[in-house]
Amino acid sequence: TTRTLAPDTVVFDLIRREKERQMHGLELIASENFVSEQVMQAQGSILTNKYAEGLPGKRYYGGCEIVDQIEQLAIDRVKELFGVEWANVQPHSGAQANAAVMLGILKPGDKILGFDLSHGGHLTHGSPVNFSGKLYQPSFYGVEPETGLIDWEKVKETARREQPKLIICGASAYSRDWNYQALREAADEVGALLLADISHPSGLIAKGLLNSPFEHCHIVTTTTHKTLRGPRGGLIMLGHDFDNPLGLKTPKGEIRSMSSVLDGAVFPGTQGGPLEHVIGAKAVAFGEALSDAYGEYTQQVIRNAQALASAFTERGYKIISGGTDNHLMLIDLRSKGLTGKLAENTLIKADITINKNMVPFDDKSPFVTSGMRIGSAAVTTRGLREADMARIVDFIDQVLMNHDNDTRIGEVRQQVNAMMRDLPLFSV
Ligand code: PLP
């Protein structure tokens, strides 16, 4: 039986080693963060044992009275956090949230318009290798070559030309804020719905530090594990519920609201049983995000990103769009004669984790790339501040400028480890 099983030393030894890696390394991957101990406790709890297909109060399984309260708490807290009318907290991930939205509001073959993957967009916004580009007909808008910024009038022109049913905004590597109002004008002109995928900056948006999408975007999706600092997962929100434009009806002949279309698109549309242990952890994280301490954290995330951006600029690195409004930046390494692949593989030798990334109009393949993406969310959770950002840029510059000198890289690694060793891994 389970009780007599020997401890799995193999897996737990690997987890211990991964914890060591996280402790002594410098984590600059823009999509990562460190959750609190209580988020991990909820996620690692007995809630994983429970089946709960359906929604709180409307389940297809018995014994859901307690998980109903947990899921309802997650819903209530996220509604308060973002000031929205409706939320579904069940999507297993950001990709699942986007899949559910598209299943709910589109028919196969419908046209969609998203932000170009190679300019900073996400796979699920129409990439040909993803369901979104296989099931639907994608077209893309991008940034301007001279400025690295999106020209909102050009997005409107593209929408007029392409006549999409859905316009998607949001990105994985765009360091500037979004003009949701202009995008809504583009959507209204062609009768499209507007989806904002705020996976990256959602924590900063929750605390009012960036433009709010809720007034202008029909539907908003996000992951819960980036700046929001919750467990890995997804989430769908509606600022205001509305009648679905497809005119879908309930079995009783009533027009279905968008919230009911989306609930059905999550389950049974794209998922089976919700992960109630993850939803419990989401509830804990949303509770944390409601606190003033989290508000201070998000302000520090932006201050740290700006400190990183100015230190890189001082050292002659080219930041796409010239700076950042959020937690991340994309650096074009071509002026330094380096590739993203070389940067990623060399920095890891100094225990610095970044990711290679295409830059707009990149002439290299996605496996090589000309850029690196850097984010401040995780290092800010570790407690680092502006002065530390200048040191981090110094470490990165030393490694990249001496990429074939393992002795120098080893020296930087020792400094990195000394900086990180005593900083707590958890957010609270
Ligand atoms: N949307 C955006 C904008 C993202 O950046 C990401 C993740 O990087 C996702 C969706 C997908 O999230 P997940 O990895 O949880 O499926």
Question: What is the spatial distance between Cα 369 and Cα 108, in angstroms, rounded to a whole number?
Answer: 32
Interface pTM, i.e. ipTM = 0.98
Q: How many CB atoms lie within 10 A of CB 72?
A: 16
Contacts 24+ apart (CB under 8 A), 355-358: 355/29, 355/30, 357/173, 357/330, 358/117, 358/118
Pocket test of ligand 1: the residue of 29, 96, 122 to mutate, having most ligand atoms within 8 Å of its CB, is 122
Residue 4 structure tokens: 């007599």
Q: Are 282 and 231 in contact (CB under 8 A)?
A: yes
Reply yes or no on whether 207 is catalytic: no
Helices (H) and strands (E) in the chain, counts: 15, 15
CA 417 and chain centroid, separation: 27
Q: What is the pLDDT of residue 422?
A: 84
Active site residue 17: no
How many whole angstroms from 286 Cα to the centroid of ligand 1?
Answer: 18
In this prediction, residue 247 carries a pLDDT of: 82
CA of residue 26 to ligand 1 center, whole Å: 22
Q: Measured in angstroms, how far is the CA atom of residue 89 from the centroid of ligand 1?
A: 15
In 3D space, the residue among 48, 51, 60, 57 whose CA is nearest the CA of residue 75 turns out to be 57
Sheet with 355-357, strands from edge to edge, namely 318-319, 328-332, 371-375, 355-357
Q: Which residue puts its alpha carbon closest to atom 10 of ligand 1?
A: 94
Ligand 1 center–CA 122 separation, angstroms = 7
The two beta strands, 355-357 and 352-353, are unpaired
- Residue 138 pLDDT: 98
Q: Is 223 a catalytic residue?
A: yes
| Separation CA 418–CA 136 (nearest Å) | 50
pLDDT tens digits, one per residue of 164-177? 999 999 999 999 99
For the residues of 65-88, what is the DSSP string, one character each? HHHHHHHHHHHHHHHHHHT-SEEE
Low pLDDT (below 50) residues in the chain: none
In the residue annotation, 346 being an active-site residue is answered as: no
Q: Is 226 a catalytic residue?
A: yes
Active-site position among 53, 110, 241, 386: 53
What does the pLDDT look like over 88-111, one tens digit per residue?
999 999 999 999 999 999 999 999
Amino acid at 388: D
pLDDT at 25: 97
**Residue that the structure tokens 């002109």 belong to:** 189
Residue with tokens 């939320």: 87
Q: Do residues 80 and 290 lie in contact, with contact meaning Cβ atoms separated by under 8 Å? A: yes
Q: Identify the pLDDT of residue 3.
A: 67
Whether omega before 360 lies within 30 degrees of 0, making that bond cis, reads no
Q: Residues lining ligand 1, judged by CB closer than 6 Å?
A: 31, 93-95, 122, 124, 170-172, 197, 199-200, 223, 234
